[in-house]
Amino acid sequence: MIAYQRLLTIDKTAKLPAYLQLANQMMSLIRGGELRAGQKLLGTRQLAQFLGIHRKTVVQAYDELLAQGWLESRTGSGTYVVENLPEIKPQPLVDGQKERRNPAKTAGFSFDALPHLWRPALVSGQELHLDDGFPDPRLAPLNELTRAYRSNLLQGNRYVRLGYGDTKGSGWLRRELALYLNETRGLKITEENVLITRGTMMGLYLVATGLVKKGDNVAVGALSWSGANMNFLQAGANLLQLPIDEHGLVVDELEQYCQKRPVRLVYLTSHHHYPTTVALRADRRLKLLRLAEEYGFIVFEDDYDYDFHYLSKPLLPLASADPAGTVLYCGSFTKAISPAFRVGYLVGPENVINHLAQLRRIIDRQGDLVLENSFAELLQNGVIQRHLRKSLREYRERRDVFCELLKTQMGEYLDFQIPDGGMAVWSRFRKEINLELLAEKALKKELVFSNGKHHDSPSNALNSTRLGFASSTVEELEKCVNILRNIILKGA
> What does the pLDDT profile of the chain (492 residues) look like in tens digits?
555 666 788 888 888 999 999 999 989 888 888 888 888 988 888 888 888 889 999 999 999 999 988 999 888 888 999 888 776 565 555 555 555 667 777 777 777 777 777 766 665 567 898 988 888 989 999 899 899 989 888 887 777 777 778 889 999 999 999 999 999 999 999 999 999 999 899 999 999 999 999 999 999 998 888 889 999 999 999 999 999 988 889 999 999 999 999 999 999 998 888 898 888 888 999 999 999 999 999 999 998 888 888 887 778 899 999 989 999 999 998 888 888 888 899 999 999 999 999 999 888 878 788 899 999 999 999 999 999 999 999 999 999 999 999 999 998 999 999 998 889 999 999 999 999 899 999 988 889 998 888 888 777 888 999 999 999 999 999 999 999 999 998 865
62, amino acid identity: Y
Q: Is-contact 293 304, C-beta < 8 A?
A: no
Angle between helices 55-68 and 18-32 (to 10 degrees): 50
* pLDDT at residue number 87: 64
* Alpha helix (H) residue ranges in 337-462: 350-361, 369-380, 383-410, 435-444
Nearest residue to 303 (alpha-carbon basis) of 416, 191, 398, 186: 186
Q: Whole-angstrom Cα distance, residue 417 to residue 405?
A: 13
Q: How far is CA 227 from the centre of its chain?
A: 9
Domains defined for the chain, CATH in brackets? 2-92 (1.10.10.10), 128-133+386-490 (3.90.1150.10), 140-383 (3.40.640.10)
Nearest residue to 204 (alpha-carbon basis) of 319, 307, 316, 304: 304
H/E segment holding residue 426: strand 424-429
200, amino acid identity: T
* pLDDT at residue number 77: 87
Q: Whole-angstrom Cα distance, residue 346 to residue 341?
A: 16
Q: Whole-angstrom Cα distance, residue 174 to residue 171?
A: 5
What's the start-to-end Cα distance of the chain, in Å? 63
Q: Is-contact 246 278, C-beta < 8 A?
A: yes
Q: Is-contact 411 189, C-beta < 8 A?
A: no
E-assigned strands of 284-351? 298-302, 327-332, 344-347
Q: Is-contact 280 269, C-beta < 8 A?
A: no
CA angle 269, 203, 426 (to 5 degrees): 30
* CB half-sphere exposure, 35, CA atoms < 13 A: 25
- Residue 135 burial (C-beta neighbours within 10 Å; 0-12, 13-18, 19+): buried
CA angle 418, 223, 465 (to 5 degrees): 50
Nearest residue to 410 (alpha-carbon basis) of 482, 464, 490: 482
Q: Whole-angstrom Cα distance, residue 265 to residue 252?
A: 16
Q: Whole-angstrom Cα distance, residue 222 to residue 229?
A: 11
* pLDDT at residue number 267: 95
Q: Whole-angstrom Cα distance, residue 278 to residue 295?
A: 26
* pLDDT at residue number 209: 94
H/E segment holding residue 257: helix 251-260
Q: Is-contact 335 345, C-beta < 8 A?
A: no
* CB half-sphere exposure, 69, CA atoms < 13 A: 2
Would you give the DSSP letter of residue 460? B
Nearest residue to 122 (alpha-carbon basis) of 133, 108, 136: 133
Nearest residue to 301 (alpha-carbon basis) of 343, 264, 334, 268: 268
* pLDDT at residue number 166: 86
Q: Whole-angstrom Cα distance, residue 197 to residue 270?
A: 21
Q: Is-contact 369 166, C-beta < 8 A?
A: no
Q: Whole-angstrom Cα distance, residue 448 to residue 284?
A: 36
Q: What is the longest distance spanned by two Cα atoms in the chain?
A: 93
Nearest residue to 456 (alpha-carbon basis) of 486, 438, 436: 436
Give the three-class secondary structure for 113.
Answer: coil
